[in-house]
Structure 1
């Protein structure tokens, strides 16, 4: 007699034209130290070799569903409809997990049975997968709503492990959002569910070196939209945080534009947003991240954008982390 074990964790990968990274992403899930999982891969209308590469994987835990292209949020929602686990996690088709990601997040739930969401620290990798850089390290737990209102410290849609009960309580990802849909989802979870953290880099977020200015413009538009919408429903006693949240958005997009300082247009956009952020919240000048951006701006004024860019790339490479899988982080 065959005994079927219901998977405890459902992992959802939305994949659209991800032939360059999809196998590595799948392996980072299937090689987890916690193995009682199902991997639900939503092929979101890929036109490259994504589906062929997926079909080469021989593991009974992998389920593949193909749909016409509907976008990231739609693909996640479709994955949720197939999920049977007690917990649900998402990972984008170009991101990676360390081997113990699920194991340690489940342990965090055991310590806090009332929690609905577990998250970990993130770390960033370049497109080549060679150089690693510090990501987001936050340690907020319990009621994290006010912290999420001013900053998406979860940092990545590939991060959280969520109780299925919590997923059902807030419904689907918003398919009208073309960016920042993950922050919107965490903000909907936070008022009613406690969060727990694994204080270890476990989410490896792949940076897009080919990011265009127009993409940053779109991200900024939706960051401001998500924030505005969140404060419509936020309680009166938290409304004072709104200017700080907007300031953080401008500082973040300023940083993204500074990464493209080889163009005069990007320098101008970065400078404007840095100034806006400081005006909205002058206390940001006490933060190291803001001070770094100010120094970058001074370098650009003193040097040509190209030379300033080269100096910053050199500094970044010196600080890069060389261990690609961070197994012992």
Structure 2
């Protein structure tokens, strides 16, 4: 039996990037059956960016946020699978084919995902250390760390998301992580162990707001209380997840404070922040020192 795939692209203030995302869908070895762009009250010309591409459905609404835009697109489709591609990112040509195959082979899985590579605004690859996933995917693994990352490399079983009511619009960020956890509590999921998407870094990425990302990440982990409390293995996994979030989101904030203080020649502040970075995030501190020494 053949399956069908939809791709939903929410767009707000990113019309200039949207053509690259849509072009990556046209280049797929397995073309999507339904493509929906949701203009979330964007002040730029989303309609003009969509017009050159045939067969793309455009929905326009007042600005309601990323989750509401994704949910609006979700409500418009009836395919077996759905991928939510942010309008500033792109898929590699084999992405949909690889992800679809994984879900067909594992009919019990709620979603399949692959890795994405960071790029600058002009698609030049940025240095990165691929966090290859090891072991069997599980709810416990996701409590420890959001190994899945942004949803651009994730193909969902549409019915599974619809059953949960879509993305939680009350969350200001990491609503995708919340979705992965909700699905993983009831269903297995699959990793395809290859890079299938490109993530574009630019000044407007929500992920660069580290305090917001940290607060939202901790809120999502706290919401797991009914499923975690009283289960020592899961409680320990969540504690590791909190520590991981601190390293990932708060270390860059402290590092930026060090850099700003040094630039302003505020030596006492810079020393205090550097000591805090060394004590609270020794791995980050060591990595920065090594990079600095390596340049000499």
Sort the TM-score into its range (normalised by shorter chain).
Answer: 0.7 to 0.9
2:45 is aligned to 49
Partner-residue secondary structure (3-state), 1:233: helix
Which residue of the partner structure matches residue 19 of structure 2?
A: 23
Which of residues 117, 122, 128 is equivalent to 2:122? 128
- Report 1:144-183 matches (<5 A): 144-183=138-177
Of the candidates 102, 105, 109, which is equivalent to residue 108 of structure 1?
Answer: 102
Deviates more, 1:142-151 or 1:132-141: 132-141
Q: Provide the secondary structure at the position in 2 that maps to 1:79.
A: helix
- The residue number in structure 2 matching 1:323 is none
**Within the alignment, does 1:295 sit opposite 2:289 as a pair?**
no
Aligned residue number for residue 264 of structure 1 = 261
Aligned CA distance change for structure 1 residues 54 and 128 (closer, same or farther; 3 Å): same
> Aligned-residue CA RMSD in angstroms?
3.0
Q: Is the 8 A contact 1:141 1:197 kept in 2?
A: no
* 4+ aligned runs moved over 6 Å, structure 1: 210-214, 265-271
Q: Distance in 1 between matches of 2:87 and 2:47?
A: 12
3-state DSSP class of the match of 1:85? Answer: coil
What CA distance in whole angstroms lies between the structure 1 residues aligned with 2:74 and 2:278?
39
CA distance 1:107–1:127, shift in 2 (3 Å)? same
Q: CA deviation at 1:48?
A: 1.1
Does the aligned pair in 2 maintain the 1:73–1:175 contact within 8 Å? yes
C-alpha displacement of 1:142: 5.4
Cα deviation, residue 298, structure 1: 4.2
Pairing 1:198-277 to 2, within 5 Å after superposition = 198-209=192-203, 215-234=209-228, 236-237=230-231, 238-257=234-253, 260=256, 262-264=259-261, 272=276, 275-276=279-280
Q: 2:83 aligns with which of 79, 89, 93?
A: 89
Are residue 65 (structure 1) and residue 59 (structure 2) matched?
Answer: yes
Question: In the aligned structure 2, how far is the partner of 1:71 from the partner of 1:272?
Answer: 35
Q: Which runs of 5+ in 2 are unaligned?
A: 263-268
**Number of residue pairs matched by the alignment:** 285
Q: Any conservation in 1 of the 2:210–2:250 contact (CA below 8 Å)? A: no
Residue 115 of structure 1 aligns to a residue whose secondary structure is coil
Is there any run of 5+ residues in structure 1 with no aligned partner, and where? 1-5, 279-289, 301-307, 316-329
Q: Is the 8 A contact 2:254 2:277 kept in 1?
A: no
How has the CA–CA distance of structure 1 residues 22 and 179 changed in structure 2, closer, same or farther, with 3 Å as cutoff?
same
> What CA distance in whole angstroms lies between the structure 2 residues aligned with 1:151 and 1:140?
12
Normalised to the residue count of structure 1, the TM-score between the two structures is 0.77
